[in-house]
Amino acid sequence: MLRSSNMILMAGLCLAAVALCLTPAAAQEPPAESPKPTDLKEKVWVRLVQMQIVATDRHGNPIPDLTVEEMEVKDRGKKMKVAFLKPFIKPDQQEEDLPDVRLFVEAPDAWEPAVTSKKGEPRHTILFVDVENDPVTRRPDADRDTARFIYERLEQGTLVAVFSYNGEIHQECSFTANREAIGEAIHAAYSRTPRPHLELKVRIRQLISEFKDCVNDASGAFVASGDERCLRDTATAYADENRPAAKDYLRALESVVRYAGGLEGEISVLSVSHGVSVDPTMEIADAMRAMLGNTDQVSQMILYLGFGEGARREMDSLLELAVKNGVALTFVDRSLAPSGDFGASLGTPYQPGVRPIQTAFQAAQNDLKEIAATTGGSFIDTPDVFEGLSEAQDKERGTYTLGYYISEYRSPKKLSRVSVNTKRKGVKIGHRRGYYKKPVFDDIVGEIRLGKGTLRSASGDPLPDGAAHVPFALLVDPRNIGYEPTEPPGAMTSQFTVHVRLMTEKGRVLADLFHFLNHGYSLKVWNGADTGSVKITGWVEIPPGSYRLTALFTNLKNGRRGELSGAIEVRPQPAAAAEPVEEQP
């Protein structure tokens, strides 16, 4: 406890004590009869299942005002009681006056000196700009339209982080509400240079031409045969060329999901991307059909490629991680379908009904649709990025997190056997599979240490209305976080996030900051007797009242998590004339 003539600050770190008082009975009194055993009561452990649902009317417009009483959930045919229904974007409502607070965390990626309390609880959105698979044409327009969405349509109170992908993942800015900083990050993302690669239409035509060279018998009108070895080598070469790009793309999305997984609260990922075909089998098969027709060789090739080392494992890993962390992935594809799907440029028309270029183009879109549907997001196909992002945000108005309890553990696959409906007529409910609430493990332990408070702000100016400036330090044992050796060996490093939130005593979030940290030790220090604690400093400026400060640490690689929590109380200064408070150096 820190006392002064102007204020009293008290900090506690979630300590609880239980005292049991025993009073001896009088010596003359007979011992009391033992109480009769009460009826046995059964205790049932329950698990909270959550899922994201999207409510729309018949025309696809979002329904933002559903209630718990209107929802019906059946798990494997059994009706379940809905525990809660939480909208992703809460409707505007009258709130009691919130205290004016400021929160600052010292971090290398900080984009804002401090954050203040805002109307409405903060929401987080990650903007993922894919220039690797985005068409080069009209890219400046896409840059301008994306920034325009931020300035004109972005919901108030939304914090945005910007990532770009050009074969490698880049963080252009951390979460911020500063629209100018977001706009600059968007421009930096679209300005990145992708890896050199052939345009899809050119590459598919090249593949068909290579298959044409394998044809050794074209006597039939609609059927031809080709050299088996030549066909297999050509197909394998194309698949081997495609799969690394698909894996890189999926791993980039997985990195974004892991980053988002360190957040507490609702979060969405808006991606401007055409994506990559995860499995090139069908586009290879269609390219073969263009020259050979529907032959047994095409069927055998599909079976052969199905046993290859594809990117499906990375796809499944991404979906599992996104569902577990409650991260919805939405995609806006501005690409236009390529033309020239008839073989005139090769001098040999394709077999009837075969459109290999369109198949290859739609293969990437189909994979994005699967990701969006599984994670609770959406896929929007439009050349207008501004309208696409606006539509994606509008759909979030009809997005909810629904929760219900079950009394036994079920595998994630079994959680997909759930049906969700509403009693309200004319409302369509779309939902993904359920997932268990992401727990806050105590793998990472530490403490929040409060410093001496002052009545002056960080800039040295007096604070109004008895407010206090309270410094703090987050102290965590690095061996709890988990560090790994670098390649080549020489240091121990870790990538982790910290989400710091300042809340009222009732749990209303007033301000929050989220940071990604890449931290390391030399092997000499790591192998020493005492590496010390990872120390992150910051401060809050708060008026009189009771508050809670929390810090959630998440290791992005091994998934270790832990939350630190501390109480802060600032008591009103007495009415009498206050003596000056000794300032902290």
CA distance 541 to 158: 22
- 3-class secondary structure per residue, 396-465: HCCEEEEEEEECCCCCCCHHHCEEEEECCCCCEEEECCCEECCCCCCCCCEEEEECCCECECCCCCECCC
- Short-list 247, 250, 134, CA closest to 197: 134
- Amino acid occupying residue 61: N
CA distance 160 to 164: 13
CA distance 156 to 89: 11
CA distance 515 to 538: 12
pLDDT by residue (tens digit) across 448-505?
999 988 988 888 888 888 899 999 999 999 988 889 888 878 899 999 999 999 999 8
pLDDT by residue (tens digit) across 58-80?
888 888 889 999 999 988 788 88
pLDDT-derived band at 397 (thresholds 50, 70, 90) equals confident
Coil, helix or strand at residue 333: strand
pLDDT at 21 over 50: no
pTM for the whole structure = 0.79
Highest mean pLDDT among 58-62, 292-296, 553-557: 553-557
pLDDT at 119 over 80: no
CA distance 419 to 433: 9
How many CB atoms neighbour CB 167 within 10 A?
17
Cα-to-chain-centroid distance, residue 37 = 51
Cα-to-chain-centroid distance, residue 105 = 22
- Amino acid occupying residue 299: S
Which structural domains are found in the chain, ordered by start? 47-88+399-436 (no CATH), 164-396 (no CATH), 440-570 (2.60.40.10)
Say which residue, 54 or 150, is predicted with more confidence. Answer: 150
Tokens coding 30: 């007979």
Beta partners for 503? 509, 548
- Report yes or no: 182 and 158 within 8 Å, Cβ to Cβ: no
pLDDT at 426 over 60: yes
Phi, psi of 336 (to 5 degrees): -100, 140
Phi, psi of 473 (to 5 degrees): -135, 135
- Report yes or no: 127 and 163 within 8 Å, Cβ to Cβ: yes
**Which ranges of 194-353 does DSSP label H, i.e. alpha helix?**
200-214, 228-261, 281-292, 296-306, 312-325
pLDDT by residue (tens digit) across 253-276?
999 999 998 888 778 899 999 999
